[in-house]
Amino acid sequence: MYLRRLVDVSLLRLRSLFRRARVERDLDRELAFHFEQQVQENLAKGMPHGEALTASQRSLGGFAQIHQEECRDMRQTNRLESIWNDLRYAVRTLLRTPGFTIVIVLTLALSIGANSAIFSVIEGVLLRPLPYAQPDRIVRIFFNSDTFAKFPLNPWDLRDFRTRNRTFDSLAGIVRADMQLSGAGDPVMLQAFRVTSGYFRVLGFSPARGREFTTSDEIPAQARQALLSDRLWRNRFASDPAILGRSILLNAQPYTVVGVMPPGVQHPGNDYHAVADGDTVDLWLPFPYDGNSTQRGSHFMEGIGRLKPGISPEQGNADLSAVLTQLAHENTGKDWRVFLVPLYREMVGRSQRMLLVLLGAVGVLLLIACVNAANLLLAKSSARVREIAVCSALGAARGRIVRQLLTESLAIAFGAAALGTVFAVAGVRALVACLPAGFPRASEIRLDSAVFAFTLLVAIVTGLLFGLVPALTASRTDLQQSLREGGRGATGSGRQLRLRNFLVVGETALACVLLIAAGLMLHSFVNLLQADPGFRPQHVLTASLSLPSEHYRTAAQIAQFHEHLIASLQSLPGAQSAGVGSDLPWTGYDENYGGFGVEGRPPEFSRKTTARYHVASLDYFRAMGIPLLGGRFFTAHDDKDTPAVILINETMARRYWPGEDAVGKRITYSDKPQEKDWVRIVGVVGDVKDRPDSSGAEPAFWWPLAQMPFPFGDMSVAVRSNSDPAPLANQLRLAVRQLDPGLAIANLRLMDQIADASVSSQRFALYLVGLFAALALLLATIGIYGVIAYSVNQRMHEFGMRMALGARSWDLVRLIMGQGLTLCLAGAAIGLLCAAGLSRMLGSLLYGVGRLDPVTFAAVALLAVTTTALACYLPARRATTADPMHSLRSE
């Protein structure tokens, strides 16, 4: 019954609100009926007709109107109706001053739009749960040690973890293993991973058809099996329903399809030979365990596991550490520790700080826009003093006036939010297009209901935030005084001006905080670009080649292919030097570290010696522009038949031969070296950092192409040209095709592009924060201009008097400039102080710049003062036009 009543009542309210005309008509009819009955009665009593009418009118009271109003009150719709009326009034008021409204709505819309756009990135990347079942139970498994912050696993270690752990539901390892698919349309390179059994159980996916890999698929003889992605199955195999058991050709070898995964299997991202996270992998193959389980020096597998319910990552870490301790007793292990990272942190951790900084920046921008709007509203409300005074004189309560003014600011806020959403739609598209390479979860960024809810919330909060102070101030006007002054609008200007000054100081302070952030990032970015990368990226064309092991079985075959390729590349017109190497700077490294012994040092010394190993052809260093610091480069004589030699980098020379000349020293990879096992260092080359912002380089050495100790199927080509190297691309393709028509060239890029991409994340953050800071500066300038212009208008009379008393234009200009600069300096001082405290938050986004970088702080202070001076110029000019005669006459 209660419910019934509730429904009835709500229907009535809605009816009263939306069918107002109808309801009013009903009321009229009802009262008319009553009136008629009264007349009838009076007539029945024997009154003459005219008298009957008058008497009825009297008894009804001439107050029919008032009765109606009371009835309306009783309908309790007045509240809703009056909100509607307030709103209409507000919109009409706002449209009366279109310039003001456009400025305020536009500035708010820009900052609300920016907030929504950044929030949609944060929502997609940080807030939305990872696309896996119970994602918080998934962890990535690495090693670390005193020397390495993060290191991949050896497959045998992973297998022991899998069998001996007590805290994981399932645990698996993955290794990137791209495959060339042939026999199903044009040959195509597929992004593929070799995975141990249980990998999909970790992620919580199961095949749509067929089965997942089992441990028996890890036996090398049975490992020729494949799981297809839904996309691959549809596009390349026409959704063949009989795909299970079919044989497909991968790298020219037959593999049996054992299953098809459902659509949308999400790759969790990986660190070494990384593939971006998302629906990015086409093919999975079993990881074959061959070789000797006691040889565990080689680390290339990435671990991932699903913890049992209720187990924390710390407990999982302790569990695997215990297993590792057992293993250390059984096999000679290095000083590895288990390093578990929750998947969420591993995926988005690196972007988290940048995103939070962006959110902070955009939040500050919104705050500035609010302060600015409050300021503009204050200025406007002082022009409306008379209107408000008349309202209160007619009996409007203070609360009613505040409500009307708040309705206005909310109308502005909602208008701005609507426009801001349009900006956000464009902004999100632009943001996603500009995201730095490899940004996590980029595919999940979109405008959705959560973002709209956020925008709505922001609109309400901003509306109240910037509306409340002006509304309260305006409603407090002294009625008598403002009416008496005939609405010259000068009342309360003292208090109001103080408030506006305060707002402008706040606005300037906030803008300075943003400017400092942008300035520090800009200075960092300049440092980054100016930092010596250790090589010369200009005019270098690069590409990667993958020689399939089926056709290039031995190191000698691979070396021979590349020697031919280099020879043909070097003969190209315009080519300065050409070389191949196992990897290129700034394209990532898969942490292939080798241990080695140093001649003449005790065995304990060699326990801790590690370095990255690479292969390079003779001219690789010349092509990359890596300088020789001592000794010599490789020569054509360094081949299979001559003594083994290596080149090392500067860090390796410094670390293991401190204070000595490393050239001529010898190392060995063997525990009990014979004379032939010694390798001589023939030269030291300059360091190349992993990334432009790495603090230093890792120790590294290079084997000459002809002496590589085992086959390196994957190599990168680098050709340096005299001018623009882009035209060489076709000739490079041609040269490869002539040598082996079946080979595909991948990653054909200019080294410049690689260098450019490597700072893309810093540039992205810089551009955005810079954009927000520029907007902030603009808003603060508008704020200062507004206050000064207003106060000049108020004081024209005074200026006239001053001029009459002998003040020159310059004196007035100085007076007004002084007023503006005082505000600006107060704001800037507060802003710089806050920035000094807050700049810590920028953390890793800075490079080679102190938190209190004097250059940035000075530049921002100067910028603030300059813009203020510009903002004050126009009002100051106006002040000088004050007419002394006018002032005198009115006195």
Partner 1 sequence: MSKPSDLIHGTLDLLILNTISLEPQHGWAIAKRIQQVSNEVLQVSQGALYPALHRLEQQGWIRSEWRVTEGGKDAKFYTLTRAGRTQLKKELAQWERLSNAVGLVIRLARETA
Which residue ranges make up the site for partner 1 (CB under 8 A)?
A: 1-2, 4-6, 8-9, 12-13, 16, 26-27, 29-31, 33-34, 36-38, 59-61, 63, 66-67, 70-71, 73-76
**Residue number with CB closer to partner 1 (5 or 672):** 5
- The dihedral built from the CA positions of residue 796, 799, 801 and 804, taken in this order, carries a sign that is negative
In whole angstroms, the minimum distance from the beta carbon of 399 to partner 1 comes to 24
In whole angstroms, the minimum distance from the beta carbon of 11 to partner 1 comes to 10
**Residue number with CB closer to partner 1 (31 or 468):** 31
Task: Compute the distance between CA of residue 437 and CA of residue 444 in angstroms, rounded to an integer.
Answer: 15
Amino acid at 735: A
**Residue number with CB closer to partner 1 (1 or 149):** 1
Give the other-Cβ count within 10 Å of 692's Cβ. 18
**Residue number with CB closer to partner 1 (67 or 564):** 67
In whole angstroms, the minimum distance from the beta carbon of 422 to partner 1 comes to 41
Task: Compute the distance between CA of residue 544 and CA of residue 745 in angstroms, rounded to an integer.
Answer: 6
In whole angstroms, the minimum distance from the beta carbon of 53 to partner 1 comes to 16
**Residue number with CB closer to partner 1 (65 or 530):** 65
Task: Compute the distance between CA of residue 599 and CA of residue 150 in angstroms, rounded to an integer.
Answer: 29
**Residue number with CB closer to partner 1 (26 or 448):** 26
Burial (Cβ within 10 Å: 0-12, 13-18, ≥19) of residue 528 = buried
Q: DSSP per residue over 146-177, as a string?
A: SS-SSBPBPHHHHHHHHHH-SSEEEEEEEEE-
In whole angstroms, the minimum distance from the beta carbon of 2 to partner 1 comes to 8
**Please, what is the Cα angle at 680 between 688 and 153, to 5 degrees?**
55
In whole angstroms, the minimum distance from the beta carbon of 72 to partner 1 comes to 8
In whole angstroms, the minimum distance from the beta carbon of 18 to partner 1 comes to 15
Helix (H) or strand (E) holding 543: strand 540-546
**Bridge partners of residue 257, in order along the sequence:** 226
Virtual torsion, Cα 596, 601, 605, 606, nearest 10 deg: 10
3-class state of residue 703 by DSSP: strand
In whole angstroms, the minimum distance from the beta carbon of 8 to partner 1 comes to 5
**Residue number with CB closer to partner 1 (71 or 184):** 71
In whole angstroms, the minimum distance from the beta carbon of 80 to partner 1 comes to 12
What lies within 8 Å, CB to CB, of 411 at 6+ separation is 87, 90, 91, 94
**Residue number with CB closer to partner 1 (60 or 830):** 60
In whole angstroms, the minimum distance from the beta carbon of 22 to partner 1 comes to 12
**Residue number with CB closer to partner 1 (73 or 478):** 73
3-class state of residue 143 by DSSP: strand
Which residue from 549, 556, 615 is spatially nearest to 584, judged by alpha carbons? 615
Task: Compute the distance between CA of residue 779 and CA of residue 510 in angstroms, rounded to an integer.
Answer: 11
**Residue number with CB closer to partner 1 (59 or 571):** 59
Asked whether the beta carbons of 276 and 249 are under 8 A apart, the reply is no
Provide the phi-psi class of 405: left if phi over 0, else alpha when psi is between -120 and 50, else beta: alpha
**Residue number with CB closer to partner 1 (4 or 672):** 4
Give the pairing of strands 645-649 and 700-704.
antiparallel
Give the pairing of strands 138-144 and 192-195.
unpaired
Helix (H) or strand (E) holding 248: strand 247-250
In whole angstroms, the minimum distance from the beta carbon of 77 to partner 1 comes to 9
End-to-end alpha-carbon separation of the chain, Å?
Answer: 75
In whole angstroms, the minimum distance from the beta carbon of 5 to partner 1 comes to 4
Which residue from 439, 403, 394 is spatially nearest to 124, judged by alpha carbons? 439
Residue keyed to tokens 């101030």: 473
In whole angstroms, the minimum distance from the beta carbon of 20 to partner 1 comes to 14
Helix (H) or strand (E) holding 371: helix 343-383
**Bridge partners of residue 292, in order along the sequence:** none
In whole angstroms, the minimum distance from the beta carbon of 85 to partner 1 comes to 20
The two structure tokens encoding residue 615 = 């292969």
**Residue number with CB closer to partner 1 (74 or 437):** 74
In whole angstroms, the minimum distance from the beta carbon of 25 to partner 1 comes to 11
**Residue number with CB closer to partner 1 (39 or 110):** 39
Which residue from 144, 93, 687 is spatially nearest to 409, judged by alpha carbons? 93
Q: Roughly what angle, to the nearest 10 degrees, separates helices 854-879 and 809-838?
A: 150
**Residue number with CB closer to partner 1 (41 or 485):** 41
Task: Say how far residue 864 (Cα) sits from the centre of its chain.
Answer: 28
In whole angstroms, the minimum distance from the beta carbon of 74 to partner 1 comes to 4
**Residue number with CB closer to partner 1 (70 or 599):** 70
3-class state of residue 296 by DSSP: coil
**Residue number with CB closer to partner 1 (36 or 448):** 36
In whole angstroms, the minimum distance from the beta carbon of 428 to partner 1 comes to 46
Task: Compute the distance between CA of residue 589 and CA of residue 581 in angstroms, rounded to an integer.
Answer: 13
In whole angstroms, the minimum distance from the beta carbon of 65 to partner 1 comes to 11
SS3 content of the chain, % helix, strand, coil (to 5): 55, 15, 30
**Please, what is the Cα angle at 690 between 685 and 691, to 5 degrees?**
125
**Residue number with CB closer to partner 1 (29 or 166):** 29
**Residue number with CB closer to partner 1 (31 or 244):** 31
What Cα–Cα distance (Å) separates residue 112 from each residue in 106, 361, 798? Answer: 10, 12, 40
The two structure tokens encoding residue 52 = 């009957």
Task: Compute the distance between CA of residue 441 and CA of residue 280 in angstroms, rounded to an integer.
Answer: 11
Which residue from 34, 88, 80 is spatially nearest to 57, judged by alpha carbons? 34
Which residue from 231, 280, 304, 281 is spatially nearest to 444, judged by alpha carbons? 280
3-class state of residue 462 by DSSP: helix
